[in-house]
Amino acid sequence: MNIEQRKKDHIALSVSGEAAYKKTAGFERFDFIHNALPEINLDEVDTSAELLGYKASLPLFVSSMTGGYSEAGQVNRIIAAFCRKHRIPFGVGSQRIMLEQPETTESFSIVRKEAPDGFISANIGGGQLANGFTEKQARKLIDSIEADAAIVHLNVLQELMQGEGDRNFKGILQGIEDLVRVSGVPVIVKETGGGINGDNARKLINAGVSVVDVSGAGGTSWSKIENHRRNQPDHPFNEWGNPTVDCILEARNAGLSPDQLMASGGMRSVLDAGKALCLGAGFTAMAQPVIRQINKGGEEGLEAWYQEYKQQFATLLCLLGCRRVEDLSERHLREVRITG
Ligand SMILES: Cc1cc2nc3c(=O)[nH]c(=O)nc-3n(C[C@H](O)[C@H](O)[C@H](O)COP(=O)(O)O)c2cc1C
């Protein structure tokens, strides 16, 4: 199967909902404490948040998703224009294909044309770093979009579920450390829905990584996507991965500050995002909800979704008596007692 068809399958399967984990990201384990006396005026609520010096309109990052063929270029164009308009940081999908097929570069570089002043992240696979990635290749990927940050995605689970995937994962951490040294931009490391545990998070920060995006289980399952593609829909590894909430708590307990901790994986509402921020993340990210909106309603659909999301986010802050995003803290949550 060619790489273009594989990428199309990925989008179709994630949007259909067939590739979602059965297990949840864990947000239902917490409830907000309602504040009947919030002492706040909704008009004074400020939803903005900062990521690596970039002031965003919301603590929301549009996760890395696509690139590498002409339709993907169109999706990247829509995401870039949207993110520029609303000051939302974002990332392109895996740029590995650019090294194998340089003619695909335009489907990535289009984002910088659409968003000259946007915050854009490059995307490099951890597997690539472990298998002879050079400084020259890093420069090529980063420079092609004049990236503000370089994202390394960890996707061992996906690779192992793919007949044609990578099999050597020795040397990824060293590769990340080398990338930090030569990239010239901050390095963000993310999973792809399997989660990053506390020990991994600590090691990444010690290697010089600026931000860890835990990308935990509870949303898109890459094991399911790959196993659907190879007609093994009931594969035993489909539910492999650690829920996002557990990853956030572990990373926080491993000493990561909100500035160093991003949360994604099954983030599906303002309430999920608010809980992630209360638990210790400084920023949140989403993939599937964004591509779903684009698929359903194009640019207009995405715009309507954003307006609703922003309004709901302001409502959440108001309900909790918080004027700013940084005011969200664990004292706004209580654990839900499981009875029965
Ligand atoms: C269609 C699609 C394509 C993706 N492609 C990439 C990719 O190329 N690089 C990457 O780092 N993550 C990729 N991801 C993973 C997401 O960035 C994210 O980590 C994961 O889907 C969990 O978030 P979600 O539950 O909001 O979808 C992709 C996700 C989707 C839905």
9, 13, 64: which to mutate for ligand 1, most atoms within 8 A of CB? 64
The arithmetic mean of pLDDT across residues 219-232, rounded, is 93
Q: State the Cα–Cα distance between residues 278 and 59, nearest whole angstrom.
A: 12
Is residue 218 one of the residues assigned to a domain? yes
**Is 146 within a domain?**
yes
**CATH number of the domain that residue 103 is part of:** 3.20.20.70
Pocket flag, ligand 1, residue 128 (CB < 6 Å): no
Instruction: Give the confidence band of 6 by pLDDT, cuts at 50, 70, 90.
Output: confident
Give 146-172 pLDDT, tens digit per residue.
999 999 999 999 999 998 889 999 999
Q: How many CB atoms lie within 10 A of CB 156?
A: 17
Closest residue by CA, ligand 1 atom 11:
153
Residue 340 lies in a domain: no
Radius of gyration in angstroms for the set of CA atoms belonging to the chain, rounded to a whole number:
19
Predicted TM-score (pTM) of this structure? 0.97
Tell me the percentage of the chain whose pLDDT exceeds 90: 92
**241 CB within 6 A, ligand 1:** no
How far, in Å, is the centroid of ligand 1 from the Cα of 56?
21
pLDDT tens-digit map of 83-95: 999 999 999 999 9
Check whether 338 has a pLDDT greater than 80. Answer: no
Q: Cβ(192) to ligand 1 under 6 A?
A: yes
Q: Ligand 1: distance of its center to the CA of 45 in Å?
A: 31
pLDDT above 70 for 243? yes
Model confidence over 170-200: pLDDT tens digits?
Answer: 999 999 999 999 999 999 999 999 999 999 9
- Does pLDDT of 16 surpass 70? yes
Ligand 1 contact via 220 beta carbon (within 6 Å) = yes
Q: Which of 7, 24, 63, 124 to mutate to test the pocket of ligand 1 (most atoms within 8 A of CB)?
A: 63
CA distance 236 to 67: 30
20 domain-assigned: yes
Let me know if residue 254 belongs to a domain: yes
Range of the domain at 175: 3-335
Distance of CA 41 to the CA centre of its chain: 32
pLDDT band for position 1 (cuts 50, 70, 90): low
95 in ligand 1 pocket by Cβ < 6 Å?
no
Give me the pLDDT at residue 45, please. 98
256 alpha carbon – ligand 1 mean position (Å) = 23
pLDDT tier for residue 218 given thresholds of 50, 70 and 90: very high
> Based on the structure, what is the number of domains in the chain?
1
SS3 per-residue string spanning the chain: CCHHHHHHHHHHHHHHCCCECCCCCCHHHEEECCCCCCCCCHHHCECCEEECCEEECCCEEECCCCCCCHHHHHHHHHHHHHHHHHCCCEECCCCHHHHHCHHHCHHHHHHHHHCCCCCEEEEEEHHHHHCCCCHHHHHHHHHHCCCCEEEEECCHHHHHHCCCCCCCCCCHHHHHHHHHHHCCCCEEEECCCCCCCHHHHHHHHHCCCCEEECCCECCECHHHHHHHHCCCCCCCCCCCCCEHHHHHHHHHHCCCCHHHEEECCCCCCHHHHHHHHHHCCCEEEECHHHHHHHHHHHHHHHHHHHHHHHHHHHHHHHHCCCCEHHHCCHHHEEECCCCC
pLDDT tens, position by position, 94-105: 999 999 999 999
Judged against a pLDDT cut of 80, whether residue 3 lies above it is answered with no
Q: Quick check: CB of 123 below 6 Å from ligand 1?
A: yes
Could you tell me if the CB of 195 is within 6 A of ligand 1? no
Render pLDDT for 228-240 as a digit per residue (tens, 0 to 9): 999 998 999 999 9
pLDDT at 337: 84
Which tens digits make up the pLDDT trace of 265-320? 999 999 999 999 999 999 999 999 999 999 999 999 999 999 999 999 999 999 99
Average pLDDT over residues 236-250: 97
Query: Taking 90 as the threshold, does the pLDDT of residue 340 lie above it?
Result: no
Q: Kindly indicate the confidence band of residue 119, based on its pLDDT and cuts at 50, 70 and 90.
A: very high
Give the tens place of pLDDT for each residue, 34-46: 999 999 999 999 9
Q: Is the CB of 11 under 6 A from ligand 1?
A: yes
Judged against a pLDDT cut of 90, whether residue 339 lies above it is answered with no
Whether the per-residue pLDDT at 145 is higher than 80: the answer is yes
In-domain check, residue 221:
yes
Within-domain flag for 210: yes
pLDDT at 7: 86
Rounded CA-CA distance 129/170 in Å is 10
Q: How many Å lie between the centroid of ligand 1 and the Cα of residue 132?
A: 24
Written as six digits, the tokens of 48 are 């903005």
Q: Give the nearest ligand 1 atom to 215 CA.
A: 19
